[in-house]
Amino acid sequence: DTGVSQDPRHKITKRGQNVTFRCDPISEHNRLYWYRQTLGQGPEFLTYFQNEAQLEKSRLLSDRFSAERPKGSFSTLEIQRTEQGDSAMYLCASSPWGQYFGPGTRLTVT
Amino acid sequence: DQQVKQNSPSLSVQEGRISILNCDYTNSMFDYFLWYKKYPAEGPTFLISISSIKDKNEDGRFTVFLNKSAKHLSLHIVPSQPGDSAVYFCAASVNFGNEKLTFGTGTRLTIIP
């Protein structure tokens, strides 16, 4: 197991389209986190899962965002009706105690 | 409300010298602190952490110091190497890292050969 993986690495979409990102955590890590990073800022927490249960959602996660982690393995993050302000790097991390990050998905909304 | 602050956006250090990166926090509930290194187009890479019951943790060339009364921590890298050039993020959490991380805005470290 080589670490947390994310797919796709890059996504360009037009405003108003829906996008979905996938995260595969390190095997046996029961906690999975999503963060968003914009230029010049540190990553900002979006949501996290303990196994398949979504335990917390940030107020940054508007109604257009939804995340799932069926069966407590991989997770998906969907953004509906994308806006230009959604352009960012979306990072996934998994953890037994501290957090190991994937390479991120860079989203560009045109 | 920036609960974790890295007031130096950039730092340049001569190769072989010590690099000192600073971080301040405001939330007294934070009890676990981490440093991450980030290269362009990659996710953050965990470097070193410290819990609030300690004031120092060392791992090879990296040492983190925690001053709880001042709500301040620092990362020392010695000796600095060209491969250390990256953006460094300080992060904090409640409950020994088992909760969400709150990140600072990062410090870009450049090591001059």
B42 touches chain A (CB under 8 A): yes
Residue-level pLDDT at A1: 53
Buried/exposed code over A66-85 (b: 16+ C-beta within 10 A; e: otherwise): ebebeeeebbebebeebeee
Residue-level pLDDT at B40: 86
Chain A contact probe: residue of B88, B90, B100 with most A CBs at under 10 A: B100
- Which candidate from A42, A99, A101 shows the least CB-CB separation from B106? A42
CA distance B82 to A12: 33
- Which is it for strands B56-59 and B62-67: parallel, antiparallel or unpaired? antiparallel
Other C-beta atoms within 10 Å of B66: how many?
Answer: 20
Residue-level pLDDT at B95: 74
pLDDT bin (cut points 50, 70, 90) of residue B98 is: low
Is pLDDT larger for residue B98 or for residue A84?
A84
Beta-carbon separation of B34 and A56 below 8 A: no
Q: Cβ(A92)–Cβ(A6) under 8 Å?
A: yes
Residue-level pLDDT at B2: 83
Share of chain B above pLDDT 90, in %: 88
Residue-level pLDDT at B97: 57
pLDDT tens for residues B2-31?
Answer: 899 999 999 999 999 999 999 999 999 999
B86 touches chain A (CB under 8 A): no
Is pLDDT larger for residue B15 or for residue A61?
B15
Looking at the complex, report in whole angstroms how far the Cα of residue A80 sits from the nearest Cα belonging to chain B: 24
φ/ψ of A95, rounded to 5, equals: -160, 135
